[in-house]
Amino acid sequence: MAAMTTAAQRITTAELMEAVAGVSSAFWIDFAAAAARHGLSATQGKALGAVLEPVPMRALAERLGCDASNVTGIVDRLESLGLATREAAAADRRVKIVTITPTGAEVLQAIRDDMSRAHRALESLDGEQRAALLAMCAQLLPLLKGEPA
């Protein structure tokens, strides 16, 4: 056990960052390919996942990591396909709220189901590893989003 602790202590933050970046990149490539098979860009597919609950356009831009002006085109495309709706907020008609439609939710699920590499990778983990990965993600994600720990 002492040898394992020593080896674990030698893992640098830079090494962890590279490992997470590699996993994230491979996941995104799998997601993008699945989204394309369903007629969407990766960003359009990601937008569907970001509007599972109604979201103001500005907040959607933040979630997608893009400029608010870019979100208009993304939402236009999703609306034209019947995958999302955009409505004025009741409290402030200038604010537009984006919501996924039932068809959009089906397409998003189909994209996720079609991510064969991600499924294969995650299914290679046993129950204990899956629980540990989920716990680590739950710990890291709020910090990466700048939320309080």
Query: Predicted confidence band at 7 (pLDDT cuts at 50, 70, 90)?
Result: low
Residues 63 and 91 in one domain: yes
**Residue 30 near residue 22, CB atoms below 8 Å:** no
pTM: 0.84
Residues 48 and 66 in one domain: yes
pLDDT in tens, 13-33: 999 999 999 999 999 999 999
pLDDT at 1 > cutoff 90: no
Cα-based angle 58, 142, 132 (whole degrees, multiple of 5):
135
Give the DSSP per-residue string, 55-124.
Answer: EEHHHHHHHHTS-HHHHHHHHHHHHHTTSEEEEE-SS-TTSEEEEE-HHHHHHHHHHHHT-HHHHHHHHT
**How many domains does the chain fold into?**
2
Residues 56 and 121 in one domain: no
User: How is residue 23 written in tokens?
Assistant: 């996993």
Residues 110 and 51 in one domain: yes
Residues 49 and 72 in one domain: yes
Residues 63 and 99 in one domain: yes
Range of the domain at 130: 116-149
pLDDT at 140 > cutoff 60: yes
- Residue 11 covered by a domain: no
